[in-house]
Amino acid sequence: VTEETANCENPALYRTDPAQAWRRLKGLNRLRPDEQSAARALADWRERRAIESDKPRGWILADEALYALATCDPVSVAALESIPTLPPGVIRKRGDELLELLRAARADESGIPLTAPKRPEPAQMALATRLLQVVRDVAAELEVSAEVLATRKDVEAIAFGSSAPENSPLLRGWRKAVVGEKLLAALA
């Protein structure tokens, strides 16, 4: 328990660098490059406002409104008012600021367009399935939920090679002794 909660005590875990706030957005790679630039700029702006006002980012601008702004390309306050997910208070207080931000973001072509994540190969999917079964078997032996031992994301990261096995939380601390060694054996 101490090992698990030690990570939760790290203040850096709860701080987001505004310039990296866009990484928290889901589905950004499905947007056009100019929309991605707008969404990145909006995420940065939202994070800065949240830090300044000490409020949750969703209270500043909900994800739904952020995506609507990024994809609608509004050019006037009237256009902002036509976005149903954008609260009137945001338009009134920050409308001109948002329009200027969007203009600058769309003009800036320095942002690298994101690509859709590569689909795993059938062999990688088979390996992930095999590793998940190892986790389920160990969990059944211990009479605990498999999710306590390992998340699907952590297992797939090993199977798909998206992170080096030594960086996996499954191969550190108590998880290594409980399930990590068995996962390594299944990789061989």
| pLDDT tens digit sequence for 131-170 | 999 999 999 999 999 999 999 989 998 888 866 667 788 8
Give Cβ neighbours of residue 117 (< 8 Å, ≥ 6 apart).
29
Going by pLDDT thresholds of 50, 70 and 90, the confidence category of residue 81 is very high
pLDDT at 115: 61
Query: Is 54:60 a contact under the CB 8 Å cutoff?
Result: no
Answer whether 174's CB lies under 8 Å from 138's CB.
no
Quote the pTM value.
Answer: 0.62
**Cβ-contact 31, 48 below 8 angstroms:** no
DSSP 161: T
For residues 100-120, give the mean pLDDT.
Answer: 76
Share of the chain above pLDDT 90, in %: 54
Identify the pLDDT of residue 165: 66
Asked if residue 178 has pLDDT above 90, the reply is: yes
pLDDT, position 163: 62
Count CB-CB contacts under 10 A for residue 173: 14
**Cα 36 to Cα 28: distance, rounded to the nearest angstrom:** 6
The distance of Cα 72 from the centroid of its chain, to the nearest Å, equals: 23
Average per-residue pLDDT for the chain: 88
pLDDT at 93 over 90: yes
Q: CA-based Rg of the chain, rounded to a whole angstrom?
A: 21
**pLDDT on residue 111:** 61
pLDDT at 80 over 90: yes
**Cβ–Cβ < 8 Å for 155, 128:** yes
Structural element, H or E, at residue 166: none
Q: Say if CB 134 and CB 183 are below 8 A apart.
A: yes
Question: Which conformational region is residue 61 in: left (phi greater than 0), alpha (psi within -120 to 50 degrees), or beta?
Answer: beta
CA dist 98 → 6, 15, 73, 137, 161 (Å): 39, 23, 11, 52, 40
For Cα atoms 44, 49, 53, give the angle at the middle one, nearest 5 degrees: 155
Evaluate if residue 113 carries a pLDDT over 70.
Answer: no
